[in-house]
Chains A and B, each alone.
Chain A
Amino acid sequence: MTQQSTVEPKETQYYRIQKRAWYSWVLWIIWVALLVFLVQNAITSGGAELEPRAAMLFWVSAGVVALAGIVIAFVRRDR
């Protein structure tokens, strides 16, 4: 004759798997494309084109876009 365990589980964890909306993928792809575009312009402006001011502006723009994407991803991570 077996004895049933009467020990309660310490905590219960729930995991919700939510599919990302299709437009979310589109926006992230646009973000990556924009970032690649800005970085390419920054690298070539400072390098082959020898345009330091343009390079600086492109690097700043790329940084802003990158930071914006990171912040948005962080803020939306729990949704």
Chain B
Amino acid sequence: MRHFGAGTVAFLELDDNTRKLVYGNDPDGKELVFTDDPVASETETQRFIPNSCKYVIVYTMQMSQESMRRSPTITGSQTTTLAYRRLEEVQRSTQDFLTGLGYQGLGESSTNALGIAPAFGVLAGLGEMSRLNRVISPEYGPMMRISKILTDLPVATDKPIDAGIMEFCKHCKKCAEACPSEALSFDDEPTWEVRGGWNNPGHKAYFEDATKCMTYWREVAGSNCGICFSVCPFAKKDKAWIHEWVKMGTSVAPFADSFFRSMDDAFGYGVKASSEDWWSLDLPEYGVDSNQSVTG
């Protein structure tokens, strides 16, 4: 899947609990129904998912940190659109590959359809939930989008990770402080209490006020935002050696998290950049370094 363009890839098995992460209805209104029929099918009102399609392929697409730091502008938001578009291409290629093997690949019918991508990402071990209420990965920070494909291809599954990211969020709060609409939580600890009907209950998280966020997008910024993504200390290009050492430090020495946050500010990371300057930058393809997740 990396050959198709995916960043990081992990696998999860649907059980009684994780099956709840599949939506009851897709964004187009069609009901998602699990069935004993071995072949997926679809009518005008329903999509039938075979119970045999119990494996979830969860994969990421890196976004351009250099674009996102131009938030909240079109220049900043276009990397999100581009990432979702590339996720669709990876989905199509992967589905063709699975079909060639004789298996099924049930992807998203539209962007962010089928199921809760951040939840799949966390449970598959691609990253941890964060104060952004989105997944932060060790490889890309929050600079990624997640998608998923249900399949009946038997795969070895992955487990959630603990890279010290959620623990770092307890002390950092940089995203919440930077959010112009104050939509993000300032709580020290994640909580069970949701902030509105837009939040999914039943898990501990730093729930955000999505109405404040969306209102800012529509009425003030005029585009998608992403300021919270761009200021995150984990949103780095990882060219300088210091970043790997800091990530190592956050994972093994959480008592130093406040110090790392202070240093992130002192070194000027997360400062907004000019949209006009972006056009003159000599950036790689898609504005990202595809080697950023390569560890071997």
Contacts and interface: CB of A to CB of B under 8 A. Distances in A.
Interface of A: 37, 40-41, 44-45, 47-54, 57-58
A48 to B, nearest CB: 4
Nearest to B289: A48
Contacts of B236: 49
16 contacts: A40-B240, A40-B241, A41-B240, A41-B241, A41-B242, A47-B239, A48-B237, A48-B239, A49-B236, A49-B239, A51-B268, A53-B267, A53-B268, A54-B240, A54-B269, A57-B266
A47 B237 CA distance: 11
A58 B243 CA distance: 13
Given A37-B241, A44-B240, 10 more contacts: A41-B240, A41-B242, A45-B239, A45-B240, A48-B239, A49-B239, A52-B268, A53-B267, A53-B271, A54-B269
Contacts of B242: 37, 41, 58
Given A50-B66, A50-B281, A44 B268 contact: no
B241 A51 contact: no
The 9 A-B pairs of least Cβ separation, nearest first, read A53-B268, A44-B239, A48-B239, A54-B267, A41-B240, A44-B240, A49-B237, A41-B242, A49-B239
Nearest to B273: A50
B139 to A, nearest CB: 16
Interface residues of B, number: 14
Best-buried of B66, B269, B281 by chain A (most CB within 10 Å):
B269
Contacts of B281: 50
Contacts of A37: 241-242
A49 B273 CA distance: 12
B40 to A, nearest CB: 44
Contacts of A57: 266-267
Interface string B224-245: 0000000000001101111000
A58 B236 CA distance: 16
Contacts of B239: 44-45, 47-49
Contacts of A49: 236-237, 239-240
Interface in B245-291: 266-269, 271, 273, 281
Interface string B43-84: 000000000000000000000001000000000000000000
Nearest to A37: B241
A50 B66 CA distance: 9
Contacts of A58: 240, 242
Contacts of A45: 239-240
Contacts of B268: 51-54
Contacts of A54: 240, 267-269
Nearest to B238: A49
Interface in B23-56: none
B267 A51 contact: yes
B173 to A, nearest CB: 21
A58 B273 CA distance: 20
Given A37-B241, A41-B240, A44-B239, A51 B66 contact: no
Nearest to A41: B240
